[in-house]
Amino acid sequence: MKRSRFPFYMTIAILVFFYLPIVIVFAQSFNASRFGGTWKGFTFDWYFKLFSDKNIWHAFTNTLIIAFSSTSVSIILGTLSAFALYKYKTKLQITHNILVYLPLVMPDILMGISLLLFFVSLKLELGLFTILLAHITFSISYVAMVVLGRFQDFDYSIFEAALDLGATWWTAVNKIMIPYLMPGIAAGGLLAFTLSLDDFVITFFVSGPGSTTLPLYIYSMMRHGSPSVINALSVIMVLFTFVVVFISKKLLEVKE
Amino acid sequence: MKKVFLAAAAAALSLLIISCGSKKNELHIYNWADYMNPAVIEKFEKEYNCKVVINYFDSNEALYAKLKAGAAGYDILFPTSYMSKLMFEQKMLQPIDHSKLKNLKNIDTGFVQKGLDPEMKYSVPYMMTFTGIAYNTKKVKNFKASWSMFDRADLAGRMTLLNDLREVIGAALKFNGYKYNSTDDKELETAMNTVIKWKKNIAKFDVDEAKRGLSSGEFFLIQVYNGDALQLINENPDLAFATPSEGTTLSQDDFVIPVTAKNTDLAYKFIDFMLDKENSKTNMEFVYYLSPNIPAQKLMSKEFLNDPAINPPKSVLDKSDFLKDLGENNSKYSIIWDKIKSSN
């Protein structure tokens, strides 16, 4: 029987859909034309403009602070939540499951507005801290779901065997459970990191004075700024993401 | 591994809490990106020994939604005048105390009186904007600065109109000798027929694709806001901009102070500083828009003032209008717009 070529073409089509826009942005970031209508020659101008704009760098720093700290916190809380969901099958945990799952399907705009109303009613000053809380809120769910997937294959009897053989609970967690979950935690963390890095809608609502993040700045540049600088910035972001993914893959390979 | 995360999280949290500490002499402005000269802001910071923190929004509607939900801490906002009006009506803005702005006398009152806040009760004009026609000088023969260009069959398929009912129907009203903001059924009917006729000649109702298309040579003539046209012309010397002699729509971006402002005094100082003729001039040169500031305009170069995409001719200005909120009559426009969209 001849194997169908359909899956092959489908894969190619999907890869083109995913990566062609990135390639175009990459090319346009070197295009001397401001709107990218026609090719007007090769230039590094947009990169020079990008590096000399201190507002962009301030926004970029904010974005990184938020992304790193929200990822670290949500990794811990998300993993704990996944552990509870895996270990206990009570009624309460079913509710817990739904609550963890909900932010994944809730529209961003709803979450943004309701978080803003919540922070305002608490009289919390809007700023980096409220953005951090918001990002942790949605990141936990992603981490929890990914780690829970890893938990499904976890043989709890190994953990119990370690306890029987004299390991303290902490040692067993440290030596058995965490190493086993590590790929899940890393994957969940990366997901949380990238989501935090490019979130616009929620961040827009919960940001306060002096806490502009990169996505907020980029959207605002649409009216008066230059799209080409945004292209240059996107290229750097994409490269940065690739490097992060690459390093984390390498790290995981060593562990396996 | 976990310890590392814990340490990182703790460090990040403490850093954030510290950074949320006291902010005494800070001014928080909420503006569009690239819409104010950083050199002028630095000068203000030095002169008043304070720090200006700029925040950015991307649309008037988003700004409104956010402030309406209770976000506070911004001292000056820069909405477009239709949004300032809405925000004032909903008691989101402070009335402007004219005694605190000694440079307010610089403002062109003739222009302001056409606008939505003729007495500057709650807003001070920042920059003026308007609509017009951008076209390719190499491709469009016998150009006439008039809305009648959309009648030209030789340009069929190479022109675009904005995807905005008030702008498009308004242009047709002006073309027929009526006024923007008309609510007269007969006049609107005539305008509708004009737009339906134009629709046969245009490729689409759009702005972003139209800009790209004009730049690349796909389109020859588009209805466009002056700010967008400026960006286009800057890049492609074959392009030019004109305001139709029948008149066009005017608009302005404002300075407004929200009721939740924390540093109102400094906000007034900042607005007054920006209205100073020298500062306004430096700012205009960077932003490349015209501020309705008479002494500052006198300092501008000939080249700047003669640019039709910055400063429309006086004769056109006199015939132009601000788009006003028509209340219940807004639905008349949407009904006509639906008819236009569905016509063949």
Indicate if B232 and B175 belong to the same structural domain.
yes
Residue B120 within any structural domain of the chain:
yes
Residue B281 within any structural domain of the chain:
yes
Report CB contact under 8 Å: B17, A219. no
Domain count across chain B? 2
Residue B144 within any structural domain of the chain:
yes
Parse chain A into domains and list their residue ranges: 53-255
Indicate if B96 and B149 belong to the same structural domain.
no
Indicate if B317 and B200 belong to the same structural domain.
yes
Kindly list the residues from chain A whose CB atom is less than 8 angstroms away from the CB atom of residue B58: 204, 216, 219-220, 222-223
Residue B62 within any structural domain of the chain:
yes
B39 touches chain A (CB under 8 A): no
Indicate if B30 and B60 belong to the same structural domain.
yes
How far apart (Å, rounded) are the C-alpha atoms in residues B300 and B90? Answer: 38
CATH of the domain at B336: 3.40.190.10
Kindly list the residues from chain B whose CB atom is less than 8 angstroms away from the CB atom of residue A35: 211-212, 215, 231-232, 235
CATH of domain A53-255: 1.10.3720.10
B54 touches chain A (CB under 8 A): yes
**DSSP code per residue over A110-159:** HHHHHHHHHHHHTTPPPSHHHHHHHHHHHHHHHHHHHHHHHHTT--HHHH
Kindly list the residues from chain A whose CB atom is less than 8 angstroms away from the CB atom of residue B15: 65
Residue B4 within any structural domain of the chain:
no
Structural domain harbouring B184: 129-250+311-342
* ipTM of this predicted structure: 0.72
Q: Do the Cβ atoms of B247 and B241 come closer than 8 Å?
A: no
Residue B134 within any structural domain of the chain:
yes
How far apart (Å, rounded) are the C-alpha atoms in residues A78 and A140? Answer: 5
Indicate if B228 and B335 belong to the same structural domain.
yes
Å between A36 CA and nearest CA of chain B? 7
Residue B321 within any structural domain of the chain:
yes
Question: Phi, psi (5° rounding) for residue B128?
Answer: -100, 145
**Which residues, numbered 265 to 294 in chain B, qualify as contacts with chain A under a Cβ-Cβ cut-off of 8 Å?**
287
pLDDT tens track, chain B, 344 positions: 555 555 555 555 555 544 444 456 899 999 988 889 989 999 999 999 999 999 998 888 889 989 998 888 899 999 999 899 999 999 999 999 999 999 999 999 989 998 999 999 999 999 999 999 999 999 998 899 999 999 998 998 999 999 888 899 999 999 999 999 999 999 999 999 999 999 999 999 988 788 888 988 889 999 999 888 887 887 788 899 999 999 999 999 999 999 999 999 999 999 999 999 999 999 998 888 999 999 999 999 998 998 888 999 888 988 899 988 888 888 899 899 999 988 87
Indicate if B172 and B237 belong to the same structural domain.
yes
Indicate if B260 and B244 belong to the same structural domain.
no
Integer distance in angstroms from the first to the last C-alpha of chain B? 67
pLDDT for A6-16, tens place per residue?
Answer: 999 999 999 99
pLDDT for A117-150, tens place per residue?
Answer: 999 999 888 999 999 999 999 999 999 999 999 9
Indicate if B241 and B276 belong to the same structural domain.
no
Indicate if B191 and B271 belong to the same structural domain.
no
Mutate to test the interface with B, among A39, A76, A219, A224 (most CBs of B within 10 A): A224
Q: Report pLDDT for B12.
A: 53
Residue B150 within any structural domain of the chain:
yes
Indicate if B329 and B235 belong to the same structural domain.
yes
Indicate if B191 and B335 belong to the same structural domain.
yes
Facing B20 at nearest CB: one of A69, A76, A125: A125
Report CB contact under 8 Å: B20, A128. yes
Indicate if B83 and B173 belong to the same structural domain.
no
